[in-house]
Structure 1
Amino acid sequence: MSLISLNNVDFAYRDTPILHDVSLALEEGESLGILGESGSGKSTILRLMLGLARPGSGAVTAEGTPLDTRSRARMQAHRRFVQPVFQDPYTSLDPRMKVGRILTEPHAALDLPGDAAAEAARVLQAVGLPADSIARYPRAFSGGQRQRIAIARALIARPRVLLADEPVSALDLATKVRVIELLTELAREITLVLVSHDIAIVAALCPRMIVLQQGRIVEQGATREILRAPRHPYTQRLLASLQHMPVETP
């Protein structure tokens, strides 16, 4: 049984079609990359997986059960099941809160078991930040450290699925590498969905990938096989843009 699946999903924002007949299944323990240019519908897929949007047609299921976004109890459970990491570490953290509160607020909001302070210490250690980070404000940290805090906030719920939306695009190269290394470590224990326009990042993190063009899946399968022999012209163009760059696959 898939952790999350989209079945023949269409989605439109007002009168603008965004997704067309999208079907995918996220399996336990895998890292799935969703690749596409800006406006291709990548982030919309994450919103559907999070329950922040409902499909115009088709269905979204979590652990085989339809995701009813109108049910408060269902969505409370879903927030513990899946957590997001957003693109910009400078805007995703409330600058008025110390890190301790940033981490413990979702613990209380989701009615999570265990001691909130102990859980905050656990996730800070998991992302490689010192315990005394809890007493500092986000402005005291670099961009890469802020993204680690955002990842720690997602991990506080002990989710089974982590949805990362362009998690390194706002970072400099050296910091980007360190965050990718962290995500690689986390992917050994948690199911990861990575959205990116950068095929090199997807290749570094995800053994399986989906390629989106204008809201349609044009190619999907093993990352290594797609990189070796892309079938769709759109994927071929993306790879051609990286012909002088080394691309490693997990």
Structure 2
Amino acid sequence: MTLFSLENLSYGYDRETRVLHDISLSVAAGQNLGILGESGSGKSTLLRLMLGLAAPDQGRLLADGAPLDIRSRARMQAHRRFAQPIFQDPYGSLDPRMRVGRALAEPHAALDLPGDRQAEIARVLAQVGLPQDSVQRRPRAFSGGQRQRIAIARALIARPRVLLADEPVSALDLSTRVRIIDLLADLSQEVTLVLVSHDIAIVAALCPQLVVLQQGRVVEAGPTRRILDAPEHPYTQMLLSSLPRLPAIAKDMT
């Protein structure tokens, strides 16, 4: 089943600044997709379109088999249940004044989700490996890795079919990165992951499918292993030789 289908999408912040050019790709259920590229390649902008935070200027975006109309409140309500984001900075994505229990309860209420709210909060805390008494504490009581687990738990409260993750471990130290990557690998047994990253090893560890962006254009796409073993486009070859690798995972790629 195809979860996302992007057909010839183009987008610009204004008429003079084009960010994405004729993007076509698809995300299949159970097939994590990595989006790889340098800063400024359009990775995060592409994720914004998939989240429904902006609409393409040209082309068509299908989510869960239907066009994503960001002007429709009902359509976007359904989309928030279908796809949830994980942002880069666990420090900035949580309200420091809000206890964890309330942070997890808010999307459950806002999206009018079924099920007992407290039971659902207990479920997602268990999924991300945090103790149940976390609900009484504020973000400052947690480490960076724990805060990212809270952010992931908040995304999971909607029981989404897709997680859209924008550099989800880049703000963390090395050992914490490895643990969050392990968590995302476990979660991707149940939910499909679209991962934006500039780190080859993280994409290789989590995503069997890969898209490479250069200046807002897809220059290579296909199975991750094939692209990493034998990149065809000169930009991909340059990218793979220059981008950082996470040491604890990179050795598994040899």
TM-score w.r.t. the length of structure 2 is 0.95
Residues 1:197 and 1:112: Cα distance change in structure 2 (over 3 Å):
same
On the 8 A contact 2:100/2:139 being kept in 1, the answer is: yes
Alpha-carbon distance in 1 for matches of 2:79, 2:109: 15
Q: Which residue number corresponds to residue 237 of structure 2?
A: 236
Q: Which residue of 2 aligns with 1:9?
A: 9
Deviation at 1:241, TM superposition (A): 2.4
Q: Give the secondary structure class of the aligned counterpart of 1:248.
A: helix
Question: Gaps (5+ residues) in structure 1?
Answer: none
Distance between the aligned counterparts of 1:101 and 1:221, measured in 2?
Answer: 41
Cross-structure match for 1:49 = 50
Cross-structure match for 2:252: 248
Aligned to 2:70: 69
Q: Percent identity?
A: 72
- Alignment partners' CA distance in 1, 2:83 and 2:204: 23
Cα distance 1:56–1:247, how it changes in 2: closer, same or farther (>3 A)? farther
CA distance in structure 2 between the partners assigned to 1:196 and 1:242 by the alignment: 10
How far has the Cα of 1:242 moved from its partner?
Answer: 5.9
Alignment-mate amino acid for residue 7 of structure 1: E
Structure 1 runs (4+) deviating above 2 angstroms are: 241-249
Query: Given the superposition, is the C-alpha separation of residues 196 and 129 from structure 1 closer, same or farther in structure 2, using an over 3 Å criterion?
Result: same
Q: What does residue range 32-43 of structure 1 map to in structure 2 within 5 Å?
A: 32-43=33-44
Structure 2 alignment gaps of length 5 or more: none
1:146 maps to what in 2?
147
Write out per-residue CA displacement over residues 87-141 of structure 1, whole angstroms, 9 at most, x where no aligned residue: 0000000001000000000000000001111111100000000000000000000
> Contact 1:203 / 1:247 at 8 angstroms: preserved in 2?
no
In structure 1, what residue type is equivalent to 2:116? D
Residue 95 of structure 1 corresponds to 96
Contact 1:207 1:223 in 2 (8 A): yes
- Give, in angstroms, the shift of residue 248 of structure 1: 3.4
115-124 vs 151-160, greater mean Cα deviation: 115-124
Q: Distance in 2 between matches of 1:56 and 1:28?
A: 26
Structure 1 residues 97-246: aligned runs within 5 Å: 97-241=98-242, 246=250
Cα distance, 1:200 vs structure 2: 1.3
Do structure 1's residue 78 and structure 2's residue 82 form an aligned pair?
Answer: no
**Cα offset, 1:243, TM superposition:** 9.6
Q: Aligned equivalents of 2:174 and 2:7: distance in 1?
A: 37
Do the aligned residues in 1 keep the contact of 2:89 with 2:171 (CA within 8 Å)? Answer: yes
Q: Tell me which residue corresponds to 2:32.
A: 31
Kept in 1: contact 2:199–2:244 (CA 8 A): no
Q: Which amino acid aligns with 2:130?
A: L
Q: Please say if residues 199 and 238 of structure 1, whose CA atoms lie closer than 8 Å, have aligned partners that are also in contact.
A: no
Give the CA RMSD over aligned residues. Answer: 1.3
